[in-house]
Structure 1
Amino acid sequence: MPTSTPCSRWPRRASSAVRGIASGCSRRFASTRSRNWMPRTRPTRFAVATTEYFLALGETANLSAESDGPERPEVVRPEQDEFRAAIDWALDHDPELAFRLVIALEQFWVMNDAFEGVRWLRAVLENGSRVPQVLRARALRTHGESAWISGDFEGGTLLMEEALTEFRQLGEEQGVAVVLHRLAVSAIVGKDLARARQLLDECLALCESSPRSKLVADAIGKLGWVEREEGNPERALELFEESTARCEEVGFTWMQANTVLDVADVADELGRTGLARERAGEAVRLCREIGDRQGTVYALALLARLASAAGRAERAGRLWGAIEAEEALGPVGHWERQREEIASSVVLPSPEFESGRSTGLSLSLDDAVEYALGDE
Structure 2
Amino acid sequence: MESASHAGLAGPDGEPMPPVERVVAARLGVFPGGLTAASVAAVLELPLQTTSCLLDALTERSLLTVSDGRYEVLDAIHTYAGERVSSAEADDLRARHAAYLLDLVRRADAQLRGPDQLRWATSIRHESDNLRGAIAWATEHDQRLALELVAGLSTYWWMHGLVSEAGRAAERLLGALGPVVPAGLEEEYLLAVLHTAGSGRPDGVEQARVIVEELVEPFRYPVTVLLWSIVLGPFVPAELAADVLARQELSTDAWTLAAVQLCDTSAEAALAEFQVVGDRWGSLLALDELGQVAAGAKEFKRAIELTGQALLLADELGVHEEAASLLCRRGDLRLRMRELPAAADDYRRTLVRAKQAGRADLAAAARIGLAKAARFSGDLAKAQELALVALSRCPDDWDEADLAMTEALAELAAIAAAAGRPEEAHSWRLKAGLAPEQYRSAGR
What TM-score does the superposition give when structure 1 sets the normalisation length? 0.67
Distance 1:355 1:61, change over 3 A: farther
- Would you say 1:116 and 2:165 are equivalent positions? yes
Distance 2:204 2:325 in 1: 20
Distance 2:336 2:173 in 1: 47
Distance 2:186 2:353 in 1: 35
- Measured after TM superposition, the shift of residue 254 of structure 1 is 1.8
| Aligned residue in 2 for 1:78 | 126
| Aligned residue in 2 for 1:218 | 259
- Measured after TM superposition, the shift of residue 282 of structure 1 is 1.8
| Aligned residue in 1 for 2:103 | 56
Corresponding residue SS for 1:31: strand
The worse-fitting range, judged by mean Cα deviation, of 20-29 and 242-251 is: 20-29
Which structure 1 residue ranges, 5 or more long, are not aligned? 225-238, 360-376
- Which residue of 89, 97, 101 corresponds with 2:149? 101
Q: What residue identity is the alignment partner of 1:49?
A: R
| Aligned residue in 1 for 2:248 | 203
Contact 1:314 1:356 in 2 (8 A): no
Distance 1:199 1:177, change over 3 A: farther
- Would you say 1:42 and 2:71 are equivalent positions? no
Distance 2:130 2:177 in 1: 22
- Per-residue CA deviation, residues 232-267 of structure 1 (Å, 9 max, x unaligned), is xxxxxxx32221121122243222211111122223
| Aligned residue in 2 for 1:305 | 332
| Aligned residue in 1 for 2:404 | none
| Aligned residue in 1 for 2:176 | 127
Q: What residue identity is the alignment partner of 2:72?
A: S
Contact 2:157 2:166 in 1 (8 A): yes
Distance 2:130 2:167 in 1: 18
Distance 1:40 1:85, change over 3 A: farther
Distance 1:160 1:73, change over 3 A: farther
Contact 2:114 2:279 in 1 (8 A): no
| Aligned residue in 2 for 1:174 | 219
With a CA cutoff of 8 Å and minimum separation of 6, indicate the structure with the bigger relative contact order: 1
Distance 2:236 2:43 in 1: 52
Distance 1:284 1:322, change over 3 A: same
| Aligned residue in 2 for 1:253 | 280
- Would you say 1:7 and 2:36 are equivalent positions? yes
Contact 2:219 2:225 in 1 (8 A): no
Distance 2:144 2:236 in 1: 38
The worse-fitting range, judged by mean Cα deviation, of 257-266 and 42-51 is: 42-51
- Measured after TM superposition, the shift of residue 319 of structure 1 is 3.3
Distance 1:180 1:113, change over 3 A: closer
Alignment of 1:274-293 (within 5 A): 274-293=301-320
Q: What residue identity is the alignment partner of 1:8?
A: A
Give identity over the alignment, percent. Answer: 17
Distance 1:342 1:356 in 2: 10
Distance 1:257 1:145, change over 3 A: farther
| Aligned residue in 2 for 1:87 | 135
Distance 1:92 1:328, change over 3 A: same
- Per-residue CA deviation, residues 317-339 of structure 1 (Å, 9 max, x unaligned), is 4534554565567765xx97x99
Distance 2:88 2:367 in 1: 53
| Aligned residue in 1 for 2:372 | 348
Contact 1:214 1:250 in 2 (8 A): yes
How many pairs align? 328
Contact 1:284 1:299 in 2 (8 A): yes
- Per-residue CA deviation, residues 116-168 of structure 1 (Å, 9 max, x unaligned), is 111111122223468842335313324414632x355x558546425425x53
Distance 2:350 2:170 in 1: 28
Distance 1:133 1:18 in 2: 30
Distance 2:172 2:86 in 1: 17
Distance 1:185 1:78, change over 3 A: closer
- Which residue of 253, 270, 288 corresponds with 1:243? 270
Distance 1:128 1:328 in 2: 36
- Measured after TM superposition, the shift of residue 76 of structure 1 is 0.8
Which structure 2 residue ranges, 5 or more long, are not aligned? 1-33, 59-63, 65-70, 391-444
Distance 1:58 1:33 in 2: 26
Distance 1:99 1:199, change over 3 A: closer
Which has the larger Rg? 2
Distance 1:342 1:179, change over 3 A: farther
- Measured after TM superposition, the shift of residue 63 of structure 1 is 6.5
Distance 2:345 2:206 in 1: 39
What TM-score does the superposition give when structure 2 sets the normalisation length? 0.58
Distance 2:320 2:204 in 1: 20
The worse-fitting range, judged by mean Cα deviation, of 258-267 and 316-325 is: 316-325
Corresponding residue SS for 2:264: helix
Q: What residue identity is the alignment partner of 1:254?
A: W
Q: What residue identity is the alignment partner of 1:97?
A: L
